Structure 1
Amino acid sequence: MPAATPNSDRHLDDTDPLMSIGMFSRASLVSVKALRSYHEQGLLVPDSVDPSSGYRSYRVSQLADAVIIKRLRDLDVPLRDIAEIVGARDPDVTKKVIAEHEADMRRRLDEVTRIVDELQEAIDRPSLHTPVHVRDEAATHALAFSGFVDESDYATFLDGAYAALFAAVDMSGAIPTGSGSARYPAAVDTDQEPVEAYVPIAAPIPIPSGVHDTGVVLTLIPAATCAVATHIGGYDTIGDTYRLLGAWVARHATSADLPVREHYVVSTDPDTHELLPPEQLRTEICWPIVPGSASA
């Protein structure tokens, strides 16, 4: 294959831009640690590696493969089989490889095939997303609850966090000015992430002693310019919207490498506080960008 020319490199950067490993990890929801491991195992090789720093960069087009590999690893598919599946990009090969596993893997065949088919074809489901737009978020006072959380424990953590936060709102007399929200680090660097759940309030208020004991604190959420997409549906498919939003930022703006925000605009029944059915859920994902960097 002939070497790429400078002009073709520029064209590739326009149509399939590079992403830093941190930005790529957030868009794919695959940790930096896992991405390094995938590279070492030959499963997902970065587009470029800085020879002096060892810093890895990936193309937007590699997002789907990153998610496929992570989900197959979560299903305990052996590395050699993942390499064959990703290399072949053929649903028939996927079925043949998985069928060779023991009975417990065969029971997962439908799920694995669905994941590979959807992600390899990079399906964008219009029903899941609203168009990406840019919004300035003003600084706001908030009551916050923080913790280090495994991906599988997000729901449990947030349930407990919001129970404590809304109890604190009632005890303190604070006036909420928006829905429950959370901030996640710019890069998925470890299996456990520092997560900050918060409720924006109209003004700072004295924290009653009983609230201090619950772990709730008063904080200031800084102003930010964000690229925003609304995920419509359950949290099990929110990765689709992250992938869409991360790719948009890579193509049209400069990531600010600040914590990403999720606003749970529609999440629970106001009377029962029970989680609503997936089809009713609305979650805004707000990815901070450098002000003035967004292009059409």
Structure 2
Amino acid sequence: MASSLAIGDFSRATHLNIKTLRHYHRIGLLAPARVDPDTGHRRYGTDQIPVAQIIRRFRALDMPLDEIHAIIVTGDPVARNRLIAAHRRRLETALARTQKAVASLRDLLEPPRDGAAASIQHRRMPATSSAAVSGTIDLADATGWYQGALGELHASLAAQKISATGPGGAIYSNRLFTQARGDVTVFVPCDGAFSATGRAEPFVVPEADLAVAEHRGPHTGEIDRAYGSLATYVADHALGIDGPIREYYVIGAHETADERQWRTEIGWPIFNTGSAGT
């Protein structure tokens, strides 16, 4: 029979403080070997020290208590390893998210890289026949939504043996930015008569005069700098008019999985003066 320790000695042995040990007892994660019915004093077996150490190490890795309990009570090593592997994947995902956040902070502290904010041009975009998917979305979902819609459109065009005549794009309502929820139309220009299928429908992209800036790279990170440069240019030249923002995905996920190669043109609606910006 294993020797026992008072809760204070068990706390010193395991580096779990008394408050934590009492909490683990209440939730059934680590019950003491014996509780004195008269005094309520808890005593733990020395054979519980390895279990307590495992709990402490998993908590240091931010594993939820219910998952730690499942690992401890299961006698199936395959199930135990599956739980540990699932938490490892969550940690890896969190690490990747942290690394992106650090890179974004670094970008804010460093001057823009060469080519990060390309020259701004004026363009008249003619009315264009296209296939399109429209919807009302949250701003936080915009990247995943437009990529899914573009994939659906390219698949629909291929099924109807219709060729795209230019890069895909999207028209973003002002409410999407001002209210964090609004209408979006994702389109792919095409020749031939496109027939509605699923969410995809024929659509004519309206004619527009735009001030256009190019962003290179993924849509996380520095794309806000391109938007900021474009807004500053339009304001400085008193060119802005009401109308939705457009993006054209010159090189995007459909062309390459390497986000560093992506090229996105951002179009801000303007009053056409007949002169090109620089």
Does structure 2 retain, via aligned residues, the 8 Å contact 1:254–1:293?
Answer: no
Partner of 1:279: 260
Structure 1 segments unaligned to the other structure (5+ residues): 1-106
Q: Quote the Cα distance in structure 1 between the aligned partners of 2:158 and 2:200.
A: 13
CA contact (8 A) 1:139 1:221 kept: yes
Q: Which has the larger radius of gyration?
A: 2
Question: Could you list the per-position Cα deviations for residues 23-82 of structure 1 after superposition, in whole angstroms to 9, with x for gaps in the alignment?
Answer: xxxxxxxxxxxxxxxxxxxxxxxxxxxxxxxxxxxxxxxxxxxxxxxxxxxxxxxxxxxx
Instruction: Give runs of aligned pairs for residues 79-94 of structure 1, distance below 5 A.
Output: none
Gap runs ≥5 in structure 2: 1-96
Alignment of 1:145-156 (within 5 A): 145-156=133-144
Q: Give the distance between the partners of 2:107 and 2:216, measured in 1 at CA.
A: 18
Aligned partner of 2:202 in structure 1 is: 218
1:200 aligns with 2:189: yes
Distance 2:239 2:249 in 1: 25
1:176 aligns with 164
Query: Per-residue CA shift, 1:163-201, capped at 9, x if unaligned?
Result: 221122123333311111111123522122211110011
Partner of 2:86: none
Q: Which residue of 2 aligns with 1:7?
A: none
Whether the 8 Å CA contact 1:141–1:202 is kept in 2: the answer is yes
Aligned to 1:248: 233
Contact 1:149/1:192 (8 A) holds in 2: yes
1:185 to 173, 178, 184: 173
Q: Is the 8 A contact 1:146 1:196 kept in 2?
A: yes
Preserved CA contact (<8 Å) 1:252 1:295: no
Instruction: Give the 5 Å matches for 1:5-154.
Output: 111=101, 115=105, 119=108, 123-154=111-142
2:153 alignment partner, one of 165, 174, 179: 165
The answer for the alignment partner of 2:270 in structure 1 is 289
Secondary structure in 2 matching 1:126: coil
* Maintained 8 Å contact 2:166/2:190: yes
- How many aligned positions are there? 180
Contact kept? 2:128, 2:207, Cα under 8 Å? yes
TM normalised by structure 2 equals: 0.57
Given the alignment of the two structures, is residue 232 of structure 1 paired with residue 220 of structure 2, yes or no?
no
1:124 Cα deviation after fit:
4.0
* Greater relative contact order (Cα < 8 A, sep 6+): 1
Deviations 1:77-104 (A, max 9, x none): xxxxxxxxxxxxxxxxxxxxxxxxxxxx
CA RMSD of the aligned region, Å? 3.0
Change (3 A) 1:251 1:134: same
Cα deviations by residue, 1:122-157 (Å, 9 ceiling, x for unpaired): 944433121111111111011110112222222321
What amino acid sits opposite 2:189 in the alignment? Answer: P
